[in-house]
Structures are given as C-alpha cells and as structure tokens.
Amino acid sequence: MTDARARHASLVRIHALQETKRKLEEWKLADFARRTRAVAQAQEETIAALNADTPLKGLFVESGAKRLESLARQRRQLEAASERQEEAVRVEARREKAAGILKAEAARQVEDERRRKEDLDILEAFLAGGGEAQIGSLRKEAPITQASSPQASGKGGSVA
C-alpha cells in the first residue's frame, strides 16, 4: 500500500471516529433538553397543585415553595450544561468537517497517484516499441460523467 493510500485509509477511519463523536455529543445535548423539559413540567405541576383550591392547601405551601426553588435551581443548572454541550457539539462538528476535508484531499492524492502510474505504464509501453495499438489497450479510461467532463467543470476550452 502506498503512502497516499495508507494516509487515505487512516483519514477515513479518523473521519468516521469524528462523526461518531459528534453524534455522541448531540445525543448528550438531546438528553439535557429532555431533562430540562421534565423539570419545566414538574414546575408547572407544582404550581398547579399550589393554585388548586383544596381545604388542606395551607399545609403544603411551604413544601411547594421549597420544591419550586429546587426545580428552578435544577433548571438553571441544566440550561447552563446545555449551553456548554452546544459548544461541545459545535467543536466536534468542526473537527468532523476538517477530517472530511483531509479525507477528500487524500482521496484526490490517491487518484492522482493512480493516474500518474497509469500514464507511466502507457509511456513505458510506447517506449518499449509497443506502438499505438498497445497503448489503446493499456489505457483504462473512466467513463466521462458530467462532473468529470471539462465542460461541466468550466475548465475545458472549446475546440474551434
């Protein structure tokens, strides 16, 4: 395996790892959001219970107030943790994008290396006296697609 191929294989694994790490951070963020919603719902239920007209309402006001304070503290902590987690998701997304760019560059280098080797094989065959007929059989032309045609990329000149 050539250096370019080994580098590409390594970068494919790194990119997959970065993608997994980003997803893990997103799952953590979703968990914080779920827990924040649960605390908000508990606050609403506590407030509803305190607002209810029941004969024993006065007995539970103090404990209800303490419960609301505790829930408010939990909610603030979860919201702060969510903000930190959002930053962690952004960091992992940037790392994943960088790994993807490096992987694409390595893939381009592998393809360039393959083309150079193919061109050298054709040149060697020609210089060995194989002639034009042998060159035609050696060239392994890839089918031209819109993305790889010179006109589609805007780099090709028109033939007059």
- Which residue, 83, 71, 70, 67, is CA-closest to 40? 71
Going from N- to C-terminal start, the domains of the chain cover: 3-110
With bands split at pLDDT 50, 70 and 90, how would you rate the model's confidence at 147? very low
d(Cα 65, Cα 87) in Å, to the nearest integer?
Answer: 34
- The whole-number pLDDT of residue 54 equals 75
Residue with more model confidence, 117 or 149: 117
Determine which of 77-91, 98-112, 126-140 has the lowest per-residue pLDDT on average.
Answer: 126-140
Q: Which residue has the tokens 């010179």?
A: 150
Q: Given a cut of 60, is residue 17 above it in pLDDT?
A: yes
Assess contact for 142 and 148: CB atoms under 8 A: yes
d(Cα 107, Cα 93) in Å, to the nearest integer?
Answer: 21
Q: Given a cut of 80, is residue 105 above it in pLDDT?
A: yes
Within the chain, what is the greatest distance between any pair of CA atoms? 108
With bands split at pLDDT 50, 70 and 90, how would you rate the model's confidence at 136? low
Assess contact for 73 and 63: CB atoms under 8 A: no
Whole-model pTM? 0.66
Q: Given a cut of 80, is residue 158 above it in pLDDT?
A: no
- The whole-number pLDDT of residue 153 equals 46
Assess contact for 18 and 96: CB atoms under 8 A: yes
